[in-house]
Structure 1
Amino acid sequence: MTHGNAPVGDVSDVSAAEVDLSGYERVKQELVAPPFAPKHEQVATGKPKIVEIDFTIQEKKIKIDPDGTEIVALTFNGSVPGPMIVVHEGDYVDLTLTNPATNVMEHNIDLHAATGALGGAGITTLLPGEQAQLRFKATKVGTFIYHCAPEGSMTPYHVTHGMNGVIMVLPREGLKDEKGNQLSYDKLYYVVEQDYYVPRDENGNFKSYNFAGEDFSEWVDVMRGLIPSHVVFNGAVGSLTGEKAMTANVGETVLFVHSQANRDTRPHLIGGHGDYVWEEGAFANPPMKDLETWFVRGGSAGAALYTFKQPGVYVYLNHNLIEAVELGAAAHVVVDGKWDNSLMEQVYHGPVRK
């Protein structure tokens, strides 16, 4: 995107005073694969820090459903979604983005938590074999998406090939309820809903490709129809079921962070609720309470706290049931513990009684 003779977001010709960072401690965040979050403090101790993040862009083949449908995914650090970043308000994020020479496409990163330069996209655009370092201050608290954002059709193309994730900026004093009381969680799960637009051949079978960008024109044609071929959690159908299901115990409080970089979604936990929900991800606002289903806007991330009260297998899904059942937007949470008959009890099951 350009305006006049300069790229939108370009700050190369802007002079500014150098920032004094001498009083900041530098810490390296050890990123982990989704659905998990890196180790972090819920309530910050000490002064704001400079949190170092390393992202390497990988263009790689992945399977996205049990039938073996394969795409050349575009990824941050090799996973769809990219790793979750967790910092606190007032911290600096010092992010190094590497586009290896073995890749074939141009990439960058737009972080919705950042201020200016298209969220960083305006100053991180990289050809294969290039690297950029971006530093920004986390001034807004909440859950925010990040994604690749090249020009024109390349932006939705990259996003719908998996190139998105979440950065969570916690208040330094931690999460609070509507009365200002402390809220905390025992576990955090990070669920990203991904829409794919895989082209089909003349026989109706999904096509496969050998390298990133080879499918561009056909993928864009499908994409413009606004009907995804797949809507999945964390990159593939069944990625959070079976042995890969999320887990909890009765009495544990879980924070579910849910994002969709492109389309609206409606997370729902069958058999549970959203005790406290930040639908818009804005932790500075009081959470909503006791929701059955919450709404996450396309291009955003939301968060919901729930304390499990019964054991069993819970289905966590997009309550557009067509997308959940037919296209793949569903996960499981396996909860261990003792059943509480005061909450639910099977009184009778058998032939019709006369």
Structure 2
Amino acid sequence: MSKQINPGLLPTSRRGILRGSMLAGAAAWAGGAALAGPAQAKRGALPRVPSLQKSGEAVPEAASPAVDLSGYTRVRQELVAPPFAPEHEQVATGGPKIVEITLETEERLLTIDEDTGAEIWALTYNGWVPGPLIVVHEGDMVELTIRNPVSSMMEHNIDFHASTGALGGGALTHVFPGEEAVLRWKATKPGCFTYHCAPGGAMIPYHVCHGMNGAVMVLPRDGLKDRDGNALSYDRIFYIGEQDFYLPVDEDGTYKTYAAAGDDYAESIEAMRSLTPTHSVFNGAVGALTGENALRANVGETVLMVHNQANRDSRPHLIGGHGNYVWESSFSDPPLTGMETWFVRGGSAVAVLYTFEQPGVYAYVNHNLIEAAILGATAHVVVEGAWNNELMEQVVAPRAF
């Protein structure tokens, strides 16, 4: 039974306006159809996916047969903060699994750039920008519990690009403050995929551009392979979420601040219309993956870099290294090899495999260098090990001539 939202939690000045705009926007996104189920009916005019049943109607057996889960083993995946990946098998053992995960929405004040004081009320999954990396295998079931705390200001949901039907699950996961929902979907396509919040209409870019997105990696059951079918493996994962932010500014160019999540809605929508981000950063903030927060590896280690961009195209490049193998989302297709720069289409995630051959500090950047050097899209990888002069050697140090 859906929990009735206390009207006192939804003052007209903020929550009522946001709820109304989300409902109207969601209806527009779904073509005016309404969303099914007693919870949605109780809460009002959310959009309906036409193929679903109205509240109280029996679902015809032929249209919705019971799913036989007898061959599945249940496991729980403990999600971890980016840039790390949850514990997982690279090659699946045993039969398919039901992988249980929990995402709790959190609206939190996030400092994007300490030097300028730029901050935003980030909309997040589990408190992180990006949301946590989820790793399963082809044929597994993902069983998600999504929870929206009663303290939240907004409705949230989740659209998995890796899933099939119901707007990627977005139509079945609308949760208001104080509600939770459970969604199960089958991972039928191997690859790396975006997930994001998609309440409807203008609220979709508003939520995505406030940090509410992440990635799912669906590994082939027999692991990664090159174009000839040879097995590929990795020693660690770097999970990088590239985030574009659009912060409203005062007349003097100072970034505006707001008392609570949602207060910036109208001004943020106006800023987003420019299609020009004020910040383009990795993992939520300028410097989130540099300095003391730099990624770390050793010479000879093979790293799988998973890069997600839920809204804009990106062109990552590892300065001093390469993409030995690059999968542009799909693991079903042979990987590209020897890439200097790879392409991330807006609303997708890619996987890149590289074995580090030299020690030192590598810069991992969006090779739109304006975004890397000025807007913040830079990470550092500190690699330990012995230098190989055969690969590179300083023959003469800088000197006057």
Q: TM-score, normalised by structure 2?
A: 0.86
- Aligned-pair distance for 1:9? 3.4
Out of 283, 286, 296, the position equivalent to 1:234 is 283
Aligned to 1:138: 187
Task: Tell me the amino acid that sits aligned with residue 278 of structure 2.
Answer: S
Aligned to 1:222: 271
Is 2:254 the partner of 1:205?
Answer: yes
Is 2:131 the partner of 1:82?
Answer: yes
Out of 19, 22, 25, the position equivalent to 2:70 is 22
Out of 154, 162, 166, the position equivalent to 2:215 is 166
Matches within 5 A, 1:112-131: 112-131=161-180
Number of positions where the alignment pairs a residue of Structure 1 with one of Structure 2 = 352
- Aligned-pair distance for 1:66? 2.1
Out of 298, 315, 325, the position equivalent to 2:346 is 298
2:238 touches 2:305 (CA, 8 Å); kept in 1? yes
Task: Tell me the amino acid that sits aligned with residue 297 of structure 2.
Answer: A
Is 2:142 the partner of 1:93?
Answer: yes
Is 2:396 the partner of 1:348?
Answer: yes
Aligned-partner SS, 1:64: strand
- Between the aligned partners of 1:210 and 1:306, the Cα distance in structure 2 is 44
2:237 touches 2:305 (CA, 8 Å); kept in 1? yes
Aligned to 2:37: none
Query: Could you give the per-residue CA deviations for residues 234-283 of structure 1, whole angstroms, max 9, x where no partner exists?
Result: 000000011111111000000000010000000000000000001x2100
Out of 88, 102, 112, the position equivalent to 1:40 is 88
Percent sequence identity over aligned pairs: 65
2:294 touches 2:379 (CA, 8 Å); kept in 1? yes
- Aligned-pair distance for 1:207? 0.4
2:33 touches 2:48 (CA, 8 Å); kept in 1? no
Aligned-partner SS, 2:371: helix
Aligned to 1:180: 229
- Between the aligned partners of 1:53 and 1:350, the Cα distance in structure 2 is 55
Where structure 1 has 5 or more consecutive residues not aligned to the other structure, the ranges are none
Aligned to 2:24: none
Task: Tell me the amino acid that sits aligned with residue 196 of structure 1.
Answer: F
Where structure 2 has 5 or more consecutive residues not aligned to the other structure, the ranges are 1-26, 35-46
1:87 touches 1:170 (CA, 8 Å); kept in 2? yes
Task: Tell me the amino acid that sits aligned with residue 378 of structure 2.
Answer: A
Task: Tell me the amino acid that sits aligned with residue 100 of structure 1.
Answer: P
1:8 touches 1:118 (CA, 8 Å); kept in 2? no
Q: TM-score, normalised by structure 1?
A: 0.97
Runs of 4+ in 1 over 3 A off after TM superposition: 2-5, 12-15
Structure holding more strand per residue: 1
- Aligned-pair distance for 1:8? 4.8
Task: Tell me the amino acid that sits aligned with residue 9 of structure 1.
Answer: V
Is 2:241 the partner of 1:192?
Answer: yes
The verdict on how the C-alpha distance between 1:3 and 1:320 changes in structure 2, with shifts beyond 3 A counting, is closer
Out of 332, 335, 339, the position equivalent to 2:380 is 332
Task: Tell me the amino acid that sits aligned with residue 123 of structure 1.
Answer: L
Report the RMSD for the aligned CA atoms in angstroms: 1.1
Aligned-partner SS, 2:113: coil
Query: Could you give the per-residue CA deviations for residues 269-320 of structure 1, whole angstroms, max 9, x where no partner exists?
Result: 0000000001x21001000000000010000001110000000000000000
